[in-house]
Amino acid sequence: MMTLCTRSSFWYPFNNWDDVNSYFTVGKSMFRGLVPYKDLFDQKGVFLYFLYGLASLFSYTTFHGVFVLEVIACALTLLAQMKIALLYLPRGTVFLMTPLCGAVLYSSRAMWWGGSAEEFLLPFLSWGLYLSFLYFRTVYPEPVPYRTMFLGGVLSSFVFLIKFNSLGFFIGWVLMLLLANLFAYRQVIGVLRRIQITMYSLLVFGAGFLVPIVPFFLYFLIHGALYAWIYVYLYCNLFVYSVKMSLGARFLLLGKVLYRQFFLNPLPGLFALAGVLLFLFRKDTKEIEKINLLLLGAGLLLGIFIGGIALPYYILPLGTFVVLVEMAASLFLPKKQEFLPRKPQKRGPAFY
């Protein structure tokens, strides 16, 4: 699938997209002594350049190393989406539908020519979605396990280090889980204890967030490029590249962008929309699961487009929710359709 869907593969002579060539240049230079943001100017996240630097070790003059990383990212994304679907559907349905959903997602116009920052965000967003769904499906109303908060912090940190406008997803993610802690077992756990658990959970999430950032912080500090990192990656993206307009104008633009993006990517758009609607109307899902889905989707959507700029590939991270259309398939397949026995969901040990 990825051989056809990305120009980084050996199927194509060259990936001639100017953006990925810029990432490749910065990544190669980073692995040969130059410092991003200080010696080379580009406004994407440092972990994206690190990935392209790794790819250059595989092949310095072709995108074949990038292709290998894209295949790995795709595999991790589809694995997470398969695990999400298994929370709700029989294995047979999931094993049939996951490859189809992956093909729809990676063959969309939003994929562009392959190698975008948005493409490398997909595995981190998909695993974040899995952790959130897993908690509300199998653990709630017990308090959120600290390991879930820690892993969520790590995933959100990688999103920050690739392209931080998708952090809206994890803002909704952590907000939902902290609120869940506040209301968990109200009849058993006292208010002060629930507040204490919530604060500890927030600290654990913050600790996870720091784990991937600290090595890059030290890297820029040692090379005297800390200011350049903050100025180019944060300040320029927040205040230079964003469009200045009123809040009402931003939401009006958001509506126009969604309308245009839907017609640019009709198949994945229909898949995602159908999946969300069917999830919201499923009788076997709790209300808290539906609220969680809406908050995650709204956070991701606003984070990406509230800046007032929209390019065709910006919407790709929303493909994370394409997995929900697998639930639509269950409406059209026989109830007994299941090729492998489904193991009962087990709750992992929750440590607090």
Quick check: 40 and 29 in contact, CB under 8 A?
yes
Whether residue 157 has pLDDT greater than 90: yes
Provide the pLDDT for residue 351.
40
Q: pLDDT (tens digit, 9 = 90+) per residue, 179-202? A: 988 887 665 677 888 888 889 999
Angle at which helices 247-264 and 266-280 pack, to 10 degrees? 110
pLDDT band at residue 350, thresholds of 50, 70 and 90?
A: very low
Q: What is the arithmetic mean of pLDDT over 268-281?
A: 79
Whether residue 345 has pLDDT greater than 50: no
Q: What are phi and psi of 36, to 5 degrees?
A: -60, 150
* The two three-digit tokens of residue 331, written as one number: 């409406």
Question: Is the Cα dihedral 94, 100, 106, 108 positive or negative?
Answer: negative
Which residue type occupies 171? I
b/e sequence 131-146, b meaning 16+ C-beta within 10 Å: bbbbbbbebbebbbbb
Provide the pLDDT for residue 116.
92
Provide the pLDDT for residue 216.
97
Sequence-distant (6+) residues with CB within 8 A of 27 are 48, 49, 50, 51, 52, 53, 54, 55, 56
Quick check: 290 and 280 in contact, CB under 8 A?
yes
Residue written as tokens 């030290």? 218
